Amino acid sequence: MISLAGRDILQAWGKFVFTGVGLGLLIGVTLSMAGIYRGMIDDAKVLLDNSSADLWVVQKDTLGPYAEPSSIYQDTWRGIRGMPGVARTANVTYLTMQVRQGERDVRAMIAGITAGEPGTPGWPPYLVAGRQITRSHYEAVADIASGFELGDRLQIRRNHYTVVGLTRRMVSSGGDPMIFIPLKDAQEAQFLKDNDAILQSRRRTEANPAFNKPGSPDLLGAVIDSQTTNTYVNAVLVQIEDGYSHDDVAESIRRWKRLTVYTRAQMEEILVGKLIATSAKQIGMFLVILSMVSAAIVAFIIYTLTLGKIREIAVLKLIGTRNRTIAGMILQQAIALGVIGFVVGKIVATLFMAPIFPKYVLLEPLDSIFGFIAVVLICVLSSVIAIYAALKVDPAEAIG
């Protein structure tokens, strides 16, 4: 027996290829959407991995520092440092903002990292170029996704920074490239008011007789100092000594310091389950819509192709072709269309979408396999109407 479906496709290959390419573009977008979701999860994991922290200590009852604002006193780390099982601690601040360089500005997540040696929690674990920050002010390490280069001068708030090192794949969970600067600078940037605001605040403080007592001239200076310096950080990153249970250390910090502490697993849960959840739902919706559009296209094309063959189908039935053979012919064509579409879609996603998309697109082989199965299933379901129409054809139609 010969393949009726195959012969028909060979005869009308133009129609199949064009439809397949159109379907392929849709499938390419669908695969890319899945890749964007995977990329977001991967970004979140990389963010957590690269912070080289085992625990995140944040303001009590917050989901900080990534999903919610968190603010804890900058000296909190000292108390945590002394607790059993704690190897290292480091303050960290994060703020997302526009970073200016000359004419252009880039949205970035600024990470304020404590002075120390490489390996300190919060530090970028490896650089692709340049060196780590060595001075306590006005140096920056930027991710290459920001477009900055070594030696570039960036402006964050009022201060200028020189890029001394470059990282790769260091992005926030929102996909913004990270820029590391010294903690003190970051604290200042986070709480910095503009000049007028500082002057006004100073004037109000001076006018307050409680602060400006004639007998104690130092008081006013101290109050103004405390108003303009930021003594808070967003989180304390903790590394745990080998041999200690992360959960146990987290629990004792919770109990003794009355702070909220997250382990790596909990932090991942927060990022993936809460921060990315809305985007994931949007992507899920798009996947559903794209699947339905693809199904409609396949159904329409296969139905049209089948209607164009009603006479031949009547003849095939008259000469004794089984319904199964005729249904198989239509089904195989639908699947062939799906396979062409999938191959085109995979190529589009891999070669065109992923490289140019402004977000990290992670195309997982397993997603491709699921995608392929879904495409085939959709094609099978879409051919049902056409098969129904073909089976209804009366062989008597072949005789006048």
Partner 1 sequence: MSEKGIRIGGLSKRYGKGDTAVDALKHVDMHVAPGEVVGLTGPSGSGKSTLLKCLGAVISPTAGRMTLGDQVIFDDGWKVKDLRALRRDKIGYVFQAPYLIPFLDVTDNVALLPMLRGVPNGEARAKALELLTALDVQHRARAMPSKLSGGEQQRVAIARGLVNQPPVILADEPTAALDSPRAMAVIKILNEMAHKFQTAIIVVTHDEKIIPTFKRIYHIRDGVTHEETGEGRGFE
Site of interaction with partner 1 (CB under 8 A)? 1-2, 4, 7-8, 10-12, 311-312, 315-322, 325, 394-396, 398-400
Q: How far is the CB of 395 from Mg ion (least distance, A)?
A: 15
Q: Name the minimum Å distance from CB 15 to partner 1.
A: 12
**Min. distance of Cβ 316 from partner 1 in angstroms?**
7
Instruction: Answer with the entry of partner 1, Mg ion, none that 269 interacts with (C-beta below 5 to 8 A by kind).
Output: none
DSSP 2: -
Residue of closest CB approach to Mg ion? 400
Number of neighbouring beta carbons within 10 Å of residue 106: 19
Q: CB of 262 within 8 A of CB of 67?
A: no
CA pair distance 136, 83, nearest whole angstrom: 27
Residue type, 335: I
Closest distance of CB 166 from partner 1, Å = 59
Nearer to partner 1, 220 or 391 (CB): 391
Backbone angles phi, psi at 242, to 5 degrees: -60, 145
167 in Cβ contact with 143 (< 8 Å): yes
# residues near Mg ion by CB under 5 A: 1
Distance separating alpha carbons of residues 206 and 209, to the nearest angstrom = 7
Shortest CB 398 distance to Mg ion, Å = 12
Question: Rounded CA gap, 246 and 104, in Å?
Answer: 43
Instruction: Find which of partner 1, Mg ion, none residue 98 binds, CB within 5 to 8 Å per kind.
Output: none
Contacts of 16 (CB under 8 A, 6+ apart): 9, 333, 336, 337, 340
Least distance CB 394 / Mg ion (angstroms): 15
Instruction: State which residue, 82 or 400, has the beta carbon closest to Mg ion.
Output: 400
Cβ burial of 195 (10 Å; 0-12, 13-18, 19+) is: exposed
Residue whose CB is less far from partner 1, 10 or 285: 10
Q: What is the CA radius of gyration of the chain?
A: 31
Residue 87 identity = A
Pick 201 or 321: Cβ nearer partner 1:
321
Q: Which of 197, 396 has the CB closer to Mg ion?
A: 396
Alpha helical stretches, state H, 91-192: 183-191
Which of Mg ion, partner 1, none sits in contact with 79, Cβ below 5 to 8 A by type?
A: none
Omega of the bond leading into 358 within 30 degrees of 0 (cis): no
Helix (H) or strand (E) holding 73: strand 72-73
319 binds, among partner 1, Mg ion, none (CB under 5 to 8 A by kind): partner 1
**In the range 341-400, which residues lie near Mg ion by CB under 5 A?**
400
Q: Residue 375 CB, nearest distance to Mg ion (Å)?
A: 45
Q: Which does 17 bind (CB under 5 to 8 A by kind): Mg ion, partner 1, none?
A: none
14 part of the interface to Mg ion, by CB under 5 A: no
Residue 210 binds: one of partner 1, Mg ion, none (C-beta under 5 to 8 A by kind) = none
Please state the three-class secondary structure of 229-262 as a single string.
CCCEECEEEEEECCCCCHHHHHHHHHHHHCCEEE
Partner whose binding site includes residue 11, from partner 1, Mg ion, none (CB under 5 to 8 Å by kind): partner 1
> At closest approach, how far in Å is the CB of 308 from partner 1?
10
Chain residues binding Mg ion by CB under 5 A are 400
